[in-house]
Amino acid sequence: MSEKTLVEAINECFHVELERDDSVMVMGEDVGRAGGVFRATAGLRDRFGPDRCVDTPLAEAGILGSAIGLCMAGWRPVCEMQYDAFSYPCLDQLITHVGRYRWRTGGAMEFPLTIRMPYGGGVRAPELHDDSPETYYVHTPGVKVAIPSTPADAKGLLAAAIREPDPVVILEPKLHYRTMRGEVPDGEHVTPLGKARVAREGSDVTLVAYGSMVPLSEQAADELAGEASVEVLDLRSLKPLDEDALLASAAKTGRVVIVQEAPRVAGFGAEIAAILAEKAILDLRSPVLRVTGYDVPYPYWQIEDAYMPSVERVTDAVRKLLRF
């Protein structure tokens, strides 16, 4: 164990996984010479050479499309999209090919590729550096999605994704790249996909969150100490989803607030609410609430705090349920 920032944990994961398996390669814009604009891939080009840590042309569909071909040639490519909103040009390759190619071969071939990107707001950046695009990915068949909220999980989930035979998209909370530190297991460390984490135990209300909404939910839980015993469930993996953990927590508390940074309409939080409405209706003592971003472009940064789910909005939602 050693203490690391979230992005250091990711970097370490790369060093371990590229050493471990020489079919793993990293590709993307500025991942090589510069070591990534957040330095997530620092040192890889020097250590493993420019063929295993490749500075690509500036073309996200080209990156993902050629990664499909690399898989067919036996590689396990890890593609970096430089920012959330710059991943959109790769959606076509993702939806029409990444999620379907194995199926198209009757299960004969594997496409063990990983797509990772920094996501989310709160970093005082210009437009289009702040999106939370997980819904586009989760809704796409054939693709798995994980979002870490701690340095240890950032390392462990990335390792799981790299080793997974199915394509996995990892969104990394860029807000916490350098500000969050935590204990991270040294060497090989894998956090299995599909296992949620009870970040905080509680009995009155469950906050369901992932990524950067987890620490926020924990803050809200602190804020509510004395008023209510709040459980915080960190989903970690959106697909496969740990339904058992979700239903167990809902059964225990009977009250659920879902916290999601992305715009609410048809966002992933709706899926959580829908699962509860189907499978936990008798457990629910109150409505299922969502605290989310809004159905608007992520705003200019001077007012981004009004967009982002806040401790106030979360505690308000919890209090609503307690009063219900």
CB 175 within 8 A of CB 130: no
Q: Which of 239, 253, 315, 318 binds a copy of itself (CB under 8 A)?
A: 239
115: which strand partners? 79, 169
Say whether the peptide bond before residue 240 is cis (omega within 30 degrees of 0): yes
Identity of the amino acid at 56: T
CA dihedral (207, 209, 213, 219) in degrees, to 10, reads 30
Q: Of 94-123, which residues contact a copy of itself (CB under 8 A)?
A: 95-96, 99-100, 103-104
In whole angstroms, the minimum distance from the beta carbon of 64 to ligand TPP comes to 13
Structure tokens at 315: 């505690």
Strands 205-209 and 256-263 come out as parallel
Identify each DSSP E strand in 19-153 by its residue range: 24-28, 53-55, 76-80, 114-119, 144-146
Instruction: Write the interaction track for a copy of itself spanning residues 251-270; mark x where CB under 8 A is met and - where it is not.
Output: -----------xx-xxxxxx
Strands 144-146 and 168-173 come out as parallel
DSSP string over 227-248: T--EEEEE--EEETT-HHHHHH
> Among another protein, ligand TPP, a copy of itself, none, what does residue 1 contact (CB within 5–8 Å per kind)?
none
Is residue 273 within the footprint of a copy of itself (CB under 8 A)?
Answer: yes
Q: Which of 15, 97, 129, 176 is catalytic?
A: 129
Q: Is 129 a catalytic residue?
A: yes
In whole angstroms, the minimum distance from the beta carbon of 80 to ligand TPP comes to 10
In whole angstroms, the minimum distance from the beta carbon of 36 to ligand TPP comes to 11
Q: Which is nearer to another protein, 67 or 184 (CB)?
A: 67
Instruction: Write the interaction track for a copy of itself spanning residues 124-163; mark x where CB under 8 A is met and - where it is not.
Output: ---xx------xx-xx-xx---------------------
CA dihedral (117, 118, 120, 124) in degrees, to 10, reads -140
Structure tokens at 190: 């894998």
Instruction: Write the interaction track for ligand TPP spanning residues 66-105; mark x where CB under 6 A is met and - where it is not.
Output: ----------------x---x--x----------------
Q: Which of 30, 55, 92, 316 binds a copy of itself (CB under 8 A)?
A: 92
Q: How far apart are CA 172 and CA 53, in angstroms?
A: 19
Write out the residues near a copy of itself by the rule CB under 8 A.
85, 88-89, 91-92, 95-96, 99-100, 103-104, 127-128, 135-136, 138-139, 141-142, 239, 262-263, 265-271, 273-274, 276-279, 281, 284, 286-290, 294-297
Catalytic residue ranges? 129
Write out the residues near ligand TPP by the rule CB under 6 A.
29, 58, 82, 86, 89
